[in-house]
Every structure is written in structure tokens, then in C-alpha cells.
């Protein structure tokens, strides 16, 4: 289907893809367009939040999210990705799956392959049926099969190394299957058991320059001794989920100690309001698939 032949604000069914034009109007202030020499990512896939999002899974204890404010924060996040040179593929909301806007959990995408996951929360298993056809346009597909479970939030890729968190959402079999799939493409994989936290990337994230942003519990992990580290203060652990996109760091607003540490280390930050995103256990990485 040619995206130019349809109204970008119209969604006729859940299988259609909307490509956001660079001139799409929204209520956000115009963001600065950044120049960069080498872009790792050229595209991001996002899914619009559903009004049912407050019925999604959450362990945050921060209360129910406000849908209108969540939508505004999601639009801000998408606009920042677009300002960094990424073409945005926008998928429609799925009312029956209130967590579906956390689209990273249903796939792991590398330059060679897109792996359809098998989310560890039973309520989210149906989401994979709505991402398979989308990703087939851009990558060969592989899939995690039963009894394996895998959430994309447990997968951190750093060049040719992939770290797979074994968590409540990703079991040993799911991690093993992903390691086998990616190993066929030359990736070195490491399975990392988690003692706490929802996902691996809730606590550990690669931010460029051979550096990890980590919580205190991961600061001395033997698997990561080769990396420089910026350690998030104990009262700002949510900020650990900071996302590197084309040389900039997307980071949640409201965590001044972490931001000061990152700026002192020479990183450029783009702060994004995330109060409602945090309420439903979301972060900077989980709301998009970057290609």
C-alpha cells in the first residue's frame, strides 16, 4: 500500500502501517534537526498507545497513567527519533493488548534478521501476530518457539556481542534459542541471569564510547569488566534505561544526578518527559524498534 495515498491520521485495520511524513503536524514545538556524520539507525517502528493502556501490566507502584499525557509523551519521544534522522513507521494501537505500545518486547532486530519473540507475560503473546508481517518487509524472520519465552527488553546488542537477560519474562530456553539464531550470523552471545529488575535493560544499557550506564547492582559484574561505566545513583534507577540513537542519548526527564554524571562524561542528552511511561514499567528503549 502506498502511504501517500491515505490519510496518515486514518487507521482502517490493525494490519496497516502508517509512515509519518516529515511535515506531519502535531502539537509539539518544532524540534531542532541534528546533523551527524554516521547514523546507525535510519528507521524506527512505533505503535500508538491504546486508551486501554492503564489496564496493562505494571509493577511500578506509581499509580495509573493518564492516557492523554501518556499520548503526549509518546508523541514527544517519536518526534525526537524523527529529529535524529529516523524515518518513523507508526503502527495503530491495539485495544485488546494494552501493553502493545512497548513494541521492542515482541522482536529483536539486527542488520541481518528480525527475531519474533515469545513474550513471557501470557497477556502479551497475541501481540506477535501484529508485528510479524511488518518486520517481514525489512528483514528475514526467525522466531522463538514454545516452551521458550523472550522479551526484547532483555536483549542488549553491542556490535557483534549480544547479552541476553534471563529474567521473569525471558526463560533459559528462550535465551538459548536466541543465542542459537544469532550465533548463525556470527554474534557472540552471553546469557545473564537477573536477580532483580523487570528486564536486563532496566539496569544495564550501552551508551556508546565503550561505556555502560548501570545501576549499582551491576557496576562490578564480571561480564562487563571491559567497559567504562556510569553508575546511576540509587534514588534514580529508572534513568538507567537510557537509549543511544545516532550519537545522542534519549533519557527520561527528572533525574538530575544521573544527567550531571552523563554530561560530565561528555555525553549529549535529549531529555524526554516520561512520568506516565514510568507508571506502566516503560522506558526509552521499549517504545520503538530501531532499524
Active site residue 199: yes
Which entry of 74, 101, 199, 259 is annotated as an active-site residue? 199
Active site residue 101: no
The whole-angstrom distance between residue 266's C-alpha and the CA centroid of its chain comes to 23
Distance of alpha carbon 31 from alpha carbon 201, whole angstroms? 27
Quick one: how many helices (H) and strands (E) in the chain?
A: 5, 16
Contact 14, 130 (CB under 8 A): yes
By DSSP bridging, strand 43-47 and strand 18-19 are: unpaired
* Residues 136, 115, 249: CA angle, nearest 5 degrees: 100
The whole-angstrom distance between residue 232's C-alpha and the CA centroid of its chain comes to 19
Contact 203, 215 (CB under 8 A): yes
Rg from Cα positions in the chain? 18
Which entry of 74, 101, 259, 286 is annotated as an active-site residue? 286
Q: Report the catalytic residues.
A: 199, 286
Amino acid at each position: 500500500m502506498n502511504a501517500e495515498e491515505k490519510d496518515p491520521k486514518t487507521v482502517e485495520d490493525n494490519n496497516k502501517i502508517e509512515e509519518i511524513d516529515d511535515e506531519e503536524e502535531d502539537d509539539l514545538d518544532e524540534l531542532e534537526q541534528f546533523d551527524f556524520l554516521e547514523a546507525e539507525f535510519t528507521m524506527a517502528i512505533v505503535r500508538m498507545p491504546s486508551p486501554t493502556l492503564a489496564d496493562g501490566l505494571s509493577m511500578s507502584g506509581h499509580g495509573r497513567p493518564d492516557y492523554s499525557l501518556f499520548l503526549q509523551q509518546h508523541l514527544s519521544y517519536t518526534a525526537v527519533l524523527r529529529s535524529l534522522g529516523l524515518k518513523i513507521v507508526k503502527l495503530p494501537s491495539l485495544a485488546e493488548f494494552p501493553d502493545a505500545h512497548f513494541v521492542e518486547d515482541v522482536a529483536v532486530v539486527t542488520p541481518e534478521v528480525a527475531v519474533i519473540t515469545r513474550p513471557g507475560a501470557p497477556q502479551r503473546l497475541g501481540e506477535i501476530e501484529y508485528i510479524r508481517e511488518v518486520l517481514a518487509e525489512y528483514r528475514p524472520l526467525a522466531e522463538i518457539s514454545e516452551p521458550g519465552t523472550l522479551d526484547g527488553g532483555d536483549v542488549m546488542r553491542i556490535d557483534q556481542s549480544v547479552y541476553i537477560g534471563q529474567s521473569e519474562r525471558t526463560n533459559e530456553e528462550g535465551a538459548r534459542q536466541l543465542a542459537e539464531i544469532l550465533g548463525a550470523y556470527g554474534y557472540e552471545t552471553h546469557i545473564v541471569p537477573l536477580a532483580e529488575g523487570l528486564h536486563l535493560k532496566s539496569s544495564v544499557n550501552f551508551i556508546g564510547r565503550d561505556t555502560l550506564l548501570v545501576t549499582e547492582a551491576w557496576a562490578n559484574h564480571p561480564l562487563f569488566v571491559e567497559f567504562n561505566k556510569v553508575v546511576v545513583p540509587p534514588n534514580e534507577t529508572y534513568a538507567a534505561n537510557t537509549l543511544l540513537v545516532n550519537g545522542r542519548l534519549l533519557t527520561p526527564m527528572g533525574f538530575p544526578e544521573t544527567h550531571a554524571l552523563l554530561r560530565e562524561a561528555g555525553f549529549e542528552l535529549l531529555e524526554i518527559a516520561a512520568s506516565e511511561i514510568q507508571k506502566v514499567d516503560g522506558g526509552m528503549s521499549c517504545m520503538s524498534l530501531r532499524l
